[in-house]
Amino acid sequence: MQITSDIFGQHQGQDIERYTIANQAGNFIRVITLGATWQGFVVNGKPLIVNFDSVERYAGPANYCLCKSVGRVAGRISDATATIDGKEFHFDANENGNTLHGGPNGFPELIWNAKTAVHDHEASVIFSRSIPSTEDHFPGDLEATITFTFNDSNEVTVTFNATTTAATLFNPTNHAYFNLTDGQNDITSQQLQINSDRMLELDDRKLPTGKFNEVKNTGCDFKTTTAVTTALKEIKDQTGKVEIDDAFEVTPSDSDPIAVLSDADSNRHVSIYSDRNGLVVFTANPLDDSKPYNAVAMEAQTLPDAINHDGFGDIVLEPSQPKEYTIKYKYYEN
């Protein structure tokens, strides 16, 4: 295993560092300090995630949060309001009156500190940041680390750790956008399988209503491997929607994947493992939204807006009770 680094560019007068972790086979991932962003995943010379080629494309809110680490809370907090330990808090709103992906001063816009660790068969880049409450306007000063580990088995593990000085919210993820096809021009040969029976009912602001819908007999039934384009057609026929932007309930597991994305033409697969109960799936073209979809985003997390819905999961981080969450992505061919 080997780690190299270079300067990817500058943002707000600071150098943005890029780290490349390469394994024995010459496959590699890349991460950058702006947004603790996963900037590359290349196996056998083929890129597997969508990426921008400049710091400028990653900076600012109009970037789809492309492969960025998002938090303190991934997804939307409805009406930018939540009750934590009996006290109501109001957060910074940045989308239709809601707080999205940690708000305007969340993880995606921060420049993170970085250090490295290299072992025989795996290597890591560890991003860290002290985030005072005055910076992102969540309660509690947060000490956070985001660790990207790559190994000789072509597995990428992202681990999120945090401690706080006051009760706060913590439900981070990586907003990874995948395309396993040659050229990454479209998703016509992409297939998806999700180990889920239910998805959240969402309102017109894409907020959970609190209800679950069965996926059976809908375009969102991915219990068996399904072409993404087939699902999109069924969804449009059934609902009029032209995209997938939905939250699925999954069973946390480190041995059974919550989802598998594959490419029918090349037999490339990426399986996803998570220790939380939600998976948000989103189709987009971050490179040119005037063209057909060229990416499938998959965000493993606790179900969105959990703090405002009983039974969705506990995302409260208490002082002296550190939390750790892990997402693993395994590449294979068969």
Dihedral (CA of 73, 147, 35, 289) sign: negative
Yes or no: say if 200 and 320 are a contact pair by the CB < 8 Å rule: no
The beta-strand segments (E) located in 122-196 are 122-131, 142-151, 155-164, 168-169, 173-174, 176-178, 190-194
Annotated active-site residue 299? The verdict is yes
Peptide bond into 205 cis (omega under 30): no
Distance CA 185, CA 267 (A): 17
Distance CA 22, CA 123 (A): 8
DSSP H or E stretch at residue 22: strand 14-22
| Active-site residue identified among 11, 101, 175, 269 | 175
Q: What one-character DSSP code corresponds to residue 26?
A: S
Distance CA 122, CA 292 (A): 37
The beta-strand segments (E) located in 152-294 are 155-164, 168-169, 173-174, 176-178, 190-194, 198-202, 208-214, 226-227, 245-249, 259-263, 268-274, 278-284
CB atoms within 10 A of CB 295: 24
Q: Which two tokens stand for residue 259?
A: 């989802």
Distance, first Cα to last Cα, the chain: 25
The three-state (H, E, C) secondary structure of 110-135, written as one string: CECEEEEEECCCEEEEEEEEEECHHH
| Active-site residue identified among 17, 109, 155, 299 | 299
Q: Which two tokens stand for residue 232?
A: 């999109």
Hey, which residues are catalytic here?
Answer: 175, 299
